[in-house]
Amino acid sequence: MQRLADKVAIITGAAQGIGAAFARGLAAEGAKVVIADVGDGTETANSIIRANGSAIYVKTDVSSPEQVKALVEKTIAEYGKVDILVNNAAIFAKLGAKKFSDISSAEFDQVMAINVRGPFECAKAVTPAMIANGGGKIVNIASSTVFKGVPDLLHYVSSKGAVVAMTRCLARELGGHKINVNAIAPGLTMSDGVLGQPDYTPEYITNNMNGRALKRKQVPEDLVGAMVFLCSSDSDFMTGQTMAVDGGNVMH
Ligand SMILES: NC(=O)c1ccc[n+]([C@@H]2O[C@H](COP(=O)([O-])OP(=O)(O)OC[C@H]3O[C@@H](n4cnc5c(N)ncnc54)[C@H](O)[C@@H]3O)[C@@H](O)[C@H]2O)c1
């Protein structure tokens, strides 16, 4: 029995990396998937269709309220409703490590526009459709860096701290509409973004891995089980929570 049969899920940043694994994982559980990405999500959509799933790609910059509105309109035109929103799109690996005093105001604002205002714009745009439909699930992607205060990435870590806070505020505001809002905090994950970034040296990855209770590299697929749980009726009485899925590195 597929746990997300007939559900419609929008997943931002799903052209590659962790978002693509979420898209494939939710589709395997029966969800119709909308891949919303500023980059090309055609191949992710096609891989789902080849596996007998249903998916479309809608080019979207999550920091643009107009494009996010068009994304929700296209989803409803194609699939008739929205049950699930996964706020996964973010700028991360390409930021590189730098001291907080070397982060420009422009870069700080860009990170906040995508990583914080993006999930806000998407939540705002999908909730009328979820309310009309009698409920829904929103899952935000935070980061375990929030609980460690990782240095040399202040803008990114601060943006993910805001995602944890936003998850709690949205859970309180939307609970009356039967919309559950939770977050997943991944540990360092071998996504396309991380693998393509030379700053993540083998030494850095090994050091990170050694801080875990479960001492191995984390891959995008490690996050899919928690995501399916938070999108399914199994988590119907859980909201406002942030689940760390990082091999037992942070424990909160
Ligand atoms: N990989 C990790 O180690 C790690 C750890 C903790 C949290 N995370 C979080 O997981 C999520 C996915 O990370 P990843 O490593 O797979 O990243 P990635 O760089 O591999 O993929 C990110 C995707 O988001 C898209 N994107 C970027 N800006 C966008 C925008 N403005 N609008 C729409 N799409 C946009 C990119 O085009 C890309 O397809 C992010 O929220 C990231 O912060 C990642």
CB atoms within 10 A of CB 134: 11
10 CB within 6 A, ligand 1: no
Neighbouring residues of 158: CB distance < 8 A, sequence distance ≥ 6: 112
The tokens 């029995």 sit on which residue? Answer: 1
The residue length of the chain stands at 252
Q: Report which protein residue has its CA nearest ligand 1's atom 25.
A: 13
Mutate to test the pocket of ligand 1, among 37, 62, 147, 219 (most ligand atoms within 8 A of CB): 37
Residue 111, ligand 1, Cβ within 6 A: no
Mutational pocket test of ligand 1: of 38, 43, 116, the residue with most ligand atoms within 8 Å of the beta carbon: 38
| Ranges of the chain with pLDDT below 70 | none
* Backbone dihedral region for residue 13 (phi beyond 0: left; psi -120 to 50: alpha; all else: beta): left
Per-residue pLDDT tens over the stretch 138-191: 999 999 999 999 999 999 999 999 999 999 999 999 999 999 999 999 999 999
Q: How many CB atoms lie within 10 A of CB 233?
A: 12
Question: Is residue 223 in contact with ligand 1, taking CB distance under 6 Å?
Answer: no
pLDDT of residue 1: 82
Ligand 1 centroid to Cα of residue 119, in Å, is: 12
Please report the DSSP string for 91-156 in residue order: --GGG----GGGS-HHHHHHHHHHHTHHHHHHHHHHHHHHHHTT-EEEEEE--THHHHT-TT-HHH
Alpha carbon separation from 135 to 46, 169, 183, 211 (Å, rounded):
29, 17, 17, 39
Domains of the chain from N-terminus onward: 8-245 (3.40.50.720)
Which one of the listed residues 57, 79, 156, 200 is annotated catalytic? Answer: 156
In short, whether 92's Cβ falls inside 6 Å of ligand 1 is yes
CA distance 249 to 243: 12
Q: Ligand 1: which of 189, 190, 245 to mutate, judged by most atoms within 8 Å of the beta carbon?
A: 189
Q: Distance, CA 1 to ligand 1 centroid (Å)? A: 30
Q: How many whole angstroms separate alpha carbon 62 and alpha carbon 120? A: 9
In sequence order, what are the residues at sequence separation of 6 or more whose Cβ sits closer than 8 angstroms to the Cβ of residue 166? 116, 119, 120, 123, 140
Active site residue 156: yes
Q: Cβ(112)–Cβ(41) under 8 Å?
A: no
pTM for the model: 0.99
Q: Residue 231 CA to chain centroid, in angstroms?
A: 12
